[in-house]
Amino acid sequence: MVDEKYQMKDGESIDDYMIRASALGQQNRLTWQEIADIINEETDLSFSESKYRKNYRTYCKGVEAGARSAEGESVVEEPVVSFTAEDFELRQRYQTATEKMPYYRLMRQDSRFERFYRLIADQIKQLPPPDYIEPIDYDGNDEEDMEYVLGLADLHIGSCFEGVNNSYSIAEAKRRFDVLLGYMINFVQKKHISKLKILSLGDAIQGLIRISDLRLNEGPVVDSFVVAVRLIADFLNKLSAYCRIEFLMVCYSNHDQLRPLGTKASELASEDLGKVMFAYLTDVLSLNERIQIIGDTNQDSLEFNIWDFHCKAMHGHQINNPATVSKDLANRDRKFYDYVFLGHTHSAREIITAEGEHHNIQTLTLGSFIGSCPYADKLMVGSKASCSIYGFHRKYGHVESYTCILN
């Protein structure tokens, strides 16, 4: 695989790329044959090293002449050299390659994970649908002035470790879902909730995005994915016996990406298992009229309303500073958000970023289902495994917060 600094950038023309790659190669003392091999691999061309060497030297002469001219020096113009048939063929091949570049990239992207998707499909076909559960009589009241949101983020199913204050495995993840289900059934009944929003912010699996994940994963990524979607489907199905559910799902996150080792973060962002999970949950729970699955597989975020408050949810790996994200998103999207929900940091926080007429503008970062891990222990930033529940008043917005500790 071509080193990242030599890779062709999005929107970069072949001519510009050839000059940049040649210059980088010269700076790093690569041979012209090595430079030619890199450019040919990235552009699907097949020219000899002499072509790239001559083109680059011609370019350098032009730059040098331009610099002398700008400084007032006289420049002796070289005689114009007419194009040969070989030069014309070269230009034609450049043009053809440029036109076909998006097609080549699309073909590689479509075929790269075809086998992986087939493995997932085969595994999912073997899963029985969740058992149908008769609804429990409850005295929930849709006319109440409160609405509640359960945050579910950073499950990292498949991760297996023994940490300082936390241990995790697939068996432990199953136990935590049982703990969360018991907590939420009691919470729903105590608060007389008839409709609950559940916000899922990604990183459902540990995935394979770096070399260290080879040690951390309990088994194959496909198996982890199948376990994750089944655990979530069972949890939603069982809880729906006690209240109606709107499952709001962000379909993009960093650990759910299918990222071949060696590729950079979000280089293949569209290859995200969150989209497959959304499709599975939508299909397998379609007969349960008490569950509504909401998401957008074409966006890395999700917009929705709680009462009349405008909300934005993202996994959070795209965000540099949670304290300014409300303002940053408002500037980018040309929209105002009362509340922004983020995962990714594995730490629950409530950040007030501005003041509204009756409520505070807030960024709410969710705690993580997995809790502290060896990496967090190393940085000494670990926190308890948890899920957060937020209560929103019709007029005053976010006024209640609850935490379900899972470990």
Mean of pLDDT values over 295-307: 94
**pLDDT value at 136 more than 60:** yes
Query: Which of 38-47, 83-92, 374-383, 397-406 has the weakest average pLDDT?
Result: 83-92
Average pLDDT over residues 275-299: 92
**Structure confidence at residue 222 (pLDDT):** 85
Sheet containing 244-249: which strands, arranged edge to edge?
291-295, 244-249, 195-200, 146-152, 386-393, 397-405
Question: Closest by alpha carbon to 384, among 401, 371, 365?
Answer: 371
Average confidence (pLDDT) over 217-240: 92
Q: Give pLDDT, residue 78.
A: 44
Predicted local distance difference test score (pLDDT) of residue 76 = 47
Pick the more confident residue, 173 or 270: 173
Report whether pLDDT(205) > 80.
yes
More confident residue, 270 or 104: 270
Answer for the pair 274, 256: CB distance below 8 angstroms, yes or no: yes
Can you give the pTM of this predicted structure? 0.70
| pLDDT at position 341 | 97
Q: How high is the pLDDT of residue 82?
A: 44
> Is the predicted pLDDT of residue 101 greater than 60, yes or no?
no
Average pLDDT over residues 111-137: 68
Residue 102, pLDDT > 70, answer: no
Looking at residue 113, what is its pLDDT? 56
Burial code of 143-168, b = ≥16 C-beta within 10 A, e = fewer? eeeebbbbbbbbbbbbbbbebeebeb
Sorted by where each starts, the structural domains of the chain and their CATH numbers stand as 4-111 (no CATH), 140-405 (3.60.21.10)
Token pair for 87 = 């030069």
Q: pLDDT by residue (tens digit) across 184-201?
A: 999 999 999 999 999 999
Longest dimension (CA), the chain: 93
What DSSP string runs through 200-257? E-S--B---SSTTHHHHBSS-HHHHHHHHHHHHHHHHHHHTTTSEEEEEE----STTB
Q: Mean pLDDT over residues 272-291, rounded?
A: 90
User: Percentage of the chain with pLDDT > 70?
Assistant: 79
Per-residue pLDDT tens digits for 345-400 = 898 999 998 888 889 999 999 999 999 987 777 777 778 999 999 999 999 999 99
Categorize the per-residue pLDDT at 122 as very low, low, confident or very high, splitting at 50, 70 and 90. Answer: confident
89 pLDDT tier (thresholds 50, 70, 90):
low
- Report which listed range, 75-79, 82-86, 145-149, 207-211, is most confident: 145-149
Cβ contact 388:403 at 8 Å: yes
